[in-house]
Structure 1
Amino acid sequence: MGDVLEHVVSGMRLSDEPFQTEVSFPDGARPDVLQKGVDGQGRLMVEAKFHASLTPNQPVPYLKWLPEDGVSVLAFLAPSGRVEALWPRLLHRLDKKGIPHSGAGPRCVAIDGTGKHLLITDWTTLLSGMESRLGDSEKGLADLRQLIGLARFAEANAPKSPHAGKALVEQVTTTGRNAGWINQDGVNAAPKPCGYGRYVWLGRRARLGVWVGFNTNLHEEFKATPLWVRVKRWKPPHDTGWTKRTIPALKEHMSHIKHVGSVLWVGVVPEEPADPDSYAEELEWIAEIVDEAAEPPLSPASVLAEVGRTYDQPVMNNIRRSEYVEALLALALEGSGWTRKEPWEAWHFENESGRRLKIKQSAATQSWGGDRDLGASPRFSIAPAKGYWDDKEGRWIPEAGRHANVYVFAWHGGTGTKADQRDPATWEFYVVAEGDLPEQKSIALSAIRAMTSACDVGRLPAVVAAVLGGAP
């Protein structure tokens, strides 16, 4: 590593201080490797990449933690096939933040007015240099050759950008085609530089021509999903599914959108877990919006009846079931001082004192025709978030943690032909204060049952009030 740095950055020398891994800084920056100089300040940060995307903290917040005086380096280490793609993105992020820099060597820039440097090199260069320096160290060479083999494997299997996401796109579009809300007649796969995708006709009745696929650029910007729908009016006679209501309807109902010229990108954001079925359910919801926009409205009552039809099923898909449970709680908590929040907000209800309530739901019977293995307890996500959107202030609040004071876990255990998720009486509700939840990303239903007892929907307001009364 010292040889690589000294070759590129004049005056850069490694110290004898130990190398530290995963060091966390107050603003969330967490480089893979950090070495301090003899003055106790971090002089070298290394961020090692294989296939992972850049995080929002890379590279600008990382550079902030390097000292202003003296020579220091933030080095990115990546497969050779990614170096050409990552280096321009790193420089673009410097330019976007107005950080002046000048060339200091091969794929290396100096931050003007400081001793800080940003560089990128590849695994092959580093590991080959290490091999020549190990000499007769049999153990060292054996370890290193395993690393070289790993790097070669990673490089050989690195996703090529135009084909990134091919398996997921094909699974999701095949699900839609089999269910009848996607048609692929006369249209083909069409990979783009941002990832793999294909043209399809979307909608059961509308037949709106769209491109469905991976967009690695928007994934980096929004984080919520790599799968996007590209909506743009096709030329006649291939625009039969297009109306003047298409774009407004998608903007009204979807939370992750980006308008670029005449193109609207719509994010396909899945429910948890983020598996092909969840992506397909979200894409089906987009297809239903397209169908609604394509058909002339007859009357408010007929439109509402058509919307309600999708919920009037004994077994609902994950999206419908989530919306159903939220509506059920809205009715149950009515008159108890709780206000329902907008769909994109980080919690579902807020009371008059500012307390927040979040819902998690699941069911034993799934819309795709399967029952969960009842011998294994289902799990609910309780992972902390990186922040939340404040609708009043109109900005993102980068406050990590769980942002609700109380969680309501809704479980429907019905299986077989008699399972009816529309019946409020067949649901179980478990109310837990946020402070009583363990520090982990998910929790099993069995663990929740060990913490509290189930209640029916009629008792829910009283139980929520009791739990909050005892919450810190």
Structure 2
Amino acid sequence: MMKVLHAAAPDLPVLRFETQKAEENIRPDMWGYDNDGPRVFIENKFWAGLTEHQPVSYLEKLAAYNRPSIILFVVPDAREQILWRELCRRLQEAGIAATGKNTLSGPITLAAATATGPVMALASWTRLISALALSVADDPFARNDLAQLQALCEAADIDAFVPILPRHVTDQRMPAFVLQLNAIVQASVELAVSENILTLNGLKPQASWNRIGRYIKFSFENGPGVWVGLHFDLWKQYGETLLWMVFSQTDWGRALQSKPLLEPWAAREDKFVAFQNSELAIALNLVFGEDKDHVVRRLAGLYKDIADALCPPGA
């Protein structure tokens, strides 16, 4: 494990490791110690989201010791870029600069030095287990432990069937949450229509097995038509948000024509855009901890920003 960590933090000394230890508001899965205190936090993730204290409180805890240190997140391969974006976004919101962002060749695929001092890094389960396996080739007990860990990773596959439990169907908060999101989408579209950002022009709601929403059209001349709403496949695949706007490849949706206009805007505004199967999807990030009116207005404002990117005022 020290060989893995040295790729991103070469100044670390040899450490001892402990698990399931909590202090104040942090509880990393693994701690790495030298004689002067913690130097490494390792957080193991599969598909659960970050806690409210990750990564900022963890970095602040390590930084208090004023010695070379690192926080490492271990995630499924498919989640590397998604979780890294969220980690960097949280640093930005906390006013913590991250410099020297690198893509490394070993198990640690992404790393950045933070203004607080510690390095923030990310590794995939696949690469980490492969690297550890090379180091314990002659240790049958360690190989057995890694085999069990590999089996755990396979069992945590997000596409694997999960047996249905009573709590899955008796928790009424989930349908209430989905209905609340539907109401937010409907209200934001109505507000954008009233402000001449969007038009409905007889377009109807649309739902299928993997999404719930409606068709809309941008109101400027020759504006493209899009679908907007809860997209479960995109939510599962990218984890950015539940709400998405999708441009189809048709003459009505004009995904190919919209892509070169929206990608530079998305890069400037730190918005997530995905292009696959000739469709362009924009993540409509929600604001947290606000009342319904504020969430609706922010969402309608995002429609306006997208409209301006597609057809700048005065163009």
TM-score range, shorter chain: 0.5 to 0.7
Residue 108 and residue 254 in structure 1: after superposition, are their counterparts in 2 closer, same or farther (change >3 A)?
closer
Q: In structure 2, do the counterparts of structure 1 residues 145 and 228 end up closer, same or farther at CA, with 3 Å as the change threshold?
A: same
Counterpart residue number, 1:262 = 300
Q: Is the 8 A contact 1:80 1:155 kept in 2?
A: no
The 5-angstrom pairing of residues 151-300 of structure 1 reads: 151-155=153-157, 157=159, 187-189=205-207, 197-199=211-213, 211-212=229-230, 257-262=295-300
> Which structure is larger by alpha-carbon Rg, 1 or 2?
1
Structure 2 equivalent of residue 83 of structure 1: 80
Cα distance in 1 for partners of 2:35, 2:102 equals 25
Q: Give the Cα–Cα distance (whole angstroms) in 1 for the partners of residues 153 and 81 of structure 2.
A: 17
Instruction: Pick from 134, 139, 152 the counterpart of residue 137 of structure 1.
Output: 139
Q: What code does the residue aligned with 2:213 have?
A: Y
| Structure 1 pair 92–142 and aligned structure 2 pair: CA distance change class (3 A) | same
**Relative to 1, partners in 2 of residues 1:11 and 1:258: Cα closer, same or farther, differing over 3 Å?**
farther
The structure, 1 or 2, with the larger RCO (C-alpha pairs under 8 Å, 6+ apart) is 2
* Residue 31 (structure 1) aligned to one of 11, 28, 46: 28
CA gap 1:72/1:135 in 2 versus in 1, 3 angstroms:
same
3-state DSSP of counterpart to 1:110 = strand
In the TM superposition, what is the alpha-carbon distance from 1:103 to its structure 2 partner? 1.5
The number of equivalent residue pairs is 202
- Structure 2 residue matching 1:29: 3-state secondary structure: coil
What TM-score results when the alignment is normalised by the length of structure 1? 0.37
- Is the partner of 2:59 in helix, strand or coil? helix
Unaligned runs of 5+ in 2: 104-109, 162-168, 180-202, 216-226, 246-290, 304-315
Alignment partners' CA distance in 2, 1:260 and 1:190: 26
For 1:146, the equivalent position in structure 2 comes to 148
User: How big is the shift at 1:24?
Assistant: 2.4
Residue 72 (1) aligns with residue 110 (2): no
Partner of 2:114: 111
Amino acid at match of 2:212: R
Given residue 141 of structure 1, which amino acid in structure 2 is its aligned partner?
R
CA distance in 1, matches of 2:124, 2:149: 13
- Asked whether the 8 Å contact 2:30–2:43 carries over to 1, the reply is yes
Question: Is contact 1:83–1:122 with CA below 8 Å preserved after alignment?
Answer: yes
TM-score (norm 2): 0.53
Distance in 2 separating the partners of 1:73 and 1:145:
27
Q: Distance in 2 between matches of 1:228 and 1:113?
A: 33
**Structure 1: distance between partners of 2:302 and 2:101:** 40
Looking at structure 2, the residues matched to 38 and 133 of structure 1 have their Cα atoms a distance apart, in angstroms, of: 25
RMSD between superposed Cα atoms in Å: 4.2
- Contact between 1:190 and 1:199, CA under 8 Å: does it hold in 2? no
Q: Secondary structure at the match of 1:93?
A: helix
Q: Which amino acid aligns with 1:24?
A: A
**In 2 relative to 1, CA 211–89 (structure 1 residues): closer, same or farther, beyond 3 Å?**
closer
Residues 114-125 of structure 1 aligned to structure 2 (within 5 Å): 114=117, 116-125=118-127
Higher helix share: 2
The residue number in structure 2 matching 1:417 is none
Separation in 2 of the partners of 1:212 and 1:126? 34
Q: Does structure 2 conserve the Cα–Cα contact (< 8 Å) formed by 1:211 and 1:229?
A: yes
Alignment of 1:351-362 (within 5 A): none
Instruction: Classify the secondary structure of the residue corresponding to 1:36.
Output: strand
Structure 1 residue ranges without an equivalent (≥5): 160-166, 177-184, 202-208, 231-252, 266-472
Match of 1:98?
95
How many Å apart are 1:136 and its aligned residue? 2.6
Q: Secondary structure at the match of 1:91?
A: helix
Q: 1:153 to 1:47 in 2, by over 3 A?
A: same
Change (3 A) 1:210 1:83: closer
User: How far apart, in 2, do the equivalents of 1:256 and 1:152 lie?
Assistant: 41
Question: 1:163 corresponds to which residue?
Answer: none
Q: Which amino acid aligns with 2:80?
A: V
| Pairwise CA distance, 1:110 | 1.0
Q: How much has 1:19 moved relative to structure 2?
A: 1.2
